[in-house]
Structure 1
């Protein structure tokens, strides 16, 4: 592209976004010369002379993956590049090029190339029933998989039309497609229901960029350049994909684990007019899990927000005959926070909104004779009312400068960090990490633990957590199923912290150390 730009600079200086004639020309040249030339080149590459020297390298992957689509010897890549340049060159020479025809065509090539090698059939059957001619204009993953297993059939690039014309279509293509659609359904035992956070979080999914998904989520400047494309994806997720989708599959002991994603972003959970729609999506996911025989469904991030569904209590009341158990992970979150406090600590400063986790932490610390300090009289009084007589003796009013251990949740004034003592440790019990405003202080992870090595297929990071770390809510659902607890743990229901902590440790989960 750089060479083309150097050769024809005047074409690119005022490149329009759309030109209908250029788009039509690109499409026609692809259906004609590109597909035709590629078909015969591909057949030639399967001649034993060229196959043994070049194309066999690509066919070393019998079970294809998306990365297989770009594994070719250099000579083949050059040949393909020349063929794909035909529509691009034609629009440049005829002065009909546009951003849509140029970049749209490049995106089309990459997308279709990966699609054909994904080894996963997802084209719905009714698509070909409604548009019978579509099967001549678009191949399917199962269609191309036959080429990698039988080698002498299905030579097309993206459009099988020339395989039909020259009678090289595999006779079992239709049957293979039908069988692929009838694959046995993967039924999970435990489902963790989460949601998207920021716009950039789309690319941190396992389906996004592997390099991003395998690292904790951060804001990258280069992703901002993709915001127009990201915004289109957001619209598709919001208006077309109005139900949850599976983002990750894992196995642990005898359990099949899945993570389902609500196609909504964090900011949408704070919009009152979105509440009805969000509860509908979450409710439908719970009913789907229930009908699929799921044992436990854990609510992650804001899917358990008090203002949205009272920590999941809404669904228990709405669906009283649920067999699947709903877990919000509050008990384990509190247990993780309590056990993250350095040994020998005599006082902690507790800040944040009053919720189940807040009170569970306060009660556990007071019973362990650790003084729980509060900054304001009204908060102190409210806490006293929730504690028994003995525990009240371990709570007190305090000042910011009195403690170096801060337990912080949602709703606290983050500017208070600036008044903390040097070397203070902030341990969040919130769903989202606090803003780090001090370089001379330490910040622990949000309630989470390191997963046992026996959990398989953990290749991506869960939001901002490190590799192979799981959030408290996600772990709580797994432990709930392993222990066979036949009760819900959401709403106002909490477990004994010692019980949930001992069970979690027994199943191999480990504490996370404070990042330096």
Structure 2
């Protein structure tokens, strides 16, 4: 049987747990109608507003902590947030519900709270709260933290779960058992109760103290050193008045040191300060803990405004799952659109996320451009300039392989990366479009007993490679194209004895008896109707076709599942499942793992399709 107060009583409610705040919301609506908020009444409304503002505080700190383009050189722990930690901390906001309910009881029992609780801040109330925080909250938290929760029994049954997360995050500060959160609630409430007891309480004090308390908790757990070294050197006393993220991280890693709430003064009095605290703070703040150069970079792009919010520094509960349009995101659409306008003039890619695979650091960089911009003629030169700058930057850093995402290697844009390799013949970084593995994934989905396939987008880079590969396997390929010249050019590339397997067709009617369609060009419902019942649509078209036919099956875009030993992966790649990446991304990773020294740009080398596939299997990547 689990120890009391070691699990949340509403743990099985999921998202329905917020119904527990229903009575508070009902009380707020009732009071709003009766008294309004101008006179300090409607305490339930204030509690709901405070609930929302506290959640926003944690969210904003999370966003800041995970903006790698701002924070990566000042991160204390270099590891990345992974799916296990996100799932473990999924219900981090349980403490908000708990404290809202406790506050409801407190205000409900106050006589005529609306008549005696002003809105405006009172100086005596601020002084009272600060004094009580220093003489009550800080020492109580220190003693409870050190003597109780780091004792053998309470640590193993209650506090160890808080230390089980790999990387401190703002949400980690709020992650704990009910017993821990009750202790934190008492520590936080003591100065406010004291101010109320002497008649100096106000709603401004409640808002101010609680939000500053949350702000400082998030600051410590942000994993980003925000204080400059010169500040503590100029005023050494500050070291004992306010803790830093590196100070708290030492407690998080080594456990038996740095126990304070916000003031290291109490660690000094208790002789529990880690000797490395100030040295580590200076090292991180000066950037001496330099950013590790990635071995592999995947150069991605944004699809549209809505998907731009599917990034690790926005909502991790959304980015850690396959992309979908959530109602939660719709109110933020205008903000994302404004952000797009701000990003438009930027000419530099920025890092978005990273993970480790077989000891090699893999990073995702993003070109700050949206999908529709790739099809605007006046944007193409600027986009190519950005991609080129990213390649040159990666080359200077010492990156080994850079792989181009779908639109970044568009044939009409830069010839599948050929433009950059031709312009910079001395590149040390290997530029890879990853299409060889994409072709391999599609080809290995096709059943071995298939004798005929229908191929759209037949003269594209992928279509050409698929057609040439299949004809060598004695499979008849119906190639849909109106260009006889382009068809004949591809047909001549096939060995003479297999050329008759390549057949040009110009209408969809030609495939009305073929049940294996390989789609490289978007299909409408009218065009899909020519497929016989039972057809399976393999596809490499972006965006994927819509599954109109209920009597047919539809494959996903070519993708591969990363090995289970990947570390620090905490976000999904667009619509892909957890741990799954697009095949072109996986192709670049395999290129890096194999240590190949050639560029993979331009036309696909059909002879290397099986080589790349076997290499991917060797390194533990698997088809989805």
**TM-score class normalised by the smaller sequence:** 0.7 to 0.9
Partner residue in 2 for 1:250: 356
Q: Distance in 2 between matches of 1:234 and 1:35?
A: 43
Shift in alpha-carbon separation, 1:169–1:484, aligned structure 2, 3 A: closer
Describe how 1:90-489 pairs up with structure 2 within 5 A.
Answer: 113-118=217-222, 120-123=223-226, 125=228, 140-145=244-249, 155=260, 174-180=278-284, 181-202=287-308, 204-231=310-337, 234=340, 242-252=348-358, 254-352=359-457, 354-375=459-480, 378-379=482-483, 382-388=486-492, 390-397=498-505, 399=509, 400-410=511-521, 413=524, 415-489=526-600
Residue by residue, what CA displacement relative to the aligned partner does 1:223-259 show, whole Å, maximum 9, x if unpaired? 223435544655666568953114121222x533232
- CA deviation after TM superposition for structure 1 residue 488, in Å: 0.7
Asked if 1:490 corresponds to 2:594, the answer is: no
- CA deviation after TM superposition for structure 1 residue 476, in Å: 1.5
**What 5-or-longer segments of structure 2 have no aligned partner?**
1-20, 50-118
2:394, 2:429 within 8 Å by CA — same for their partners in 1? Answer: yes
Asked if 1:47 corresponds to 2:153, the answer is: no
Q: Distance in 2 between matches of 1:347 and 1:336?
A: 18
Q: Distance in 1 between matches of 2:431 and 2:191?
A: 52
TM-score, structure 1 normalization: 0.77
Residue by residue, what CA displacement relative to the aligned partner does 1:405-448 show, whole Å, maximum 9, x if unpaired? 22112455565224432222111123542233333321112112
Match of 1:5 among 28, 51, 56: 28
Q: Distance in 2 between matches of 1:241 and 1:167?
A: 52
- CA deviation after TM superposition for structure 1 residue 36, in Å: 6.0
Residue by residue, what CA displacement relative to the aligned partner does 1:167-199 show, whole Å, maximum 9, x if unpaired? 999796553222223224323222222123344
Q: Distance in 2 between matches of 1:498 and 1:477?
A: 16
Q: Distance in 1 between matches of 2:124 and 2:552?
A: 62
Shift in alpha-carbon separation, 1:80–1:280, aligned structure 2, 3 A: farther
Q: Distance in 1 between matches of 2:617 and 2:445?
A: 14
TM-score, structure 2 normalization: 0.65
Q: Distance in 1 between matches of 2:526 and 2:129?
A: 61
Aligned residue pairs, count: 489
Q: Distance in 1 between matches of 2:617 and 2:335?
A: 43
Q: Distance in 2 between matches of 1:198 and 1:345?
A: 37
Q: Distance in 2 between matches of 1:28 and 1:406?
A: 75
**What 5-or-longer segments of structure 1 have no aligned partner?**
16-23
Shift in alpha-carbon separation, 1:500–1:268, aligned structure 2, 3 A: same
Partner residue in 2 for 1:505: 617
- CA deviation after TM superposition for structure 1 residue 321, in Å: 1.3
- CA deviation after TM superposition for structure 1 residue 150, in Å: 8.2
Partner residue in 1 for 2:102: none
Q: Distance in 2 between matches of 1:442 and 1:401?
A: 16
- CA deviation after TM superposition for structure 1 residue 333, in Å: 1.4
Q: Distance in 2 between matches of 1:279 and 1:503?
A: 31
- CA deviation after TM superposition for structure 1 residue 270, in Å: 3.1
Partner residue in 1 for 2:74: none
1:298, 1:326 within 8 Å by CA — same for their partners in 2? Answer: yes
Residue by residue, what CA displacement relative to the aligned partner does 1:1-30 show, whole Å, maximum 9, x if unpaired? 8457346423499x9xxxxxxxx9789999
Shift in alpha-carbon separation, 1:300–1:80, aligned structure 2, 3 A: farther
1:121, 1:140 within 8 Å by CA — same for their partners in 2? Answer: no
SS at 2:577 equivalent = coil
Partner residue in 2 for 1:18: none
Q: Distance in 2 between matches of 1:291 and 1:302?
A: 24
1:449, 1:510 within 8 Å by CA — same for their partners in 2? Answer: yes
Shift in alpha-carbon separation, 1:28–1:274, aligned structure 2, 3 A: farther
Shift in alpha-carbon separation, 1:413–1:461, aligned structure 2, 3 A: same
Q: Distance in 1 between matches of 2:516 and 2:302?
A: 31
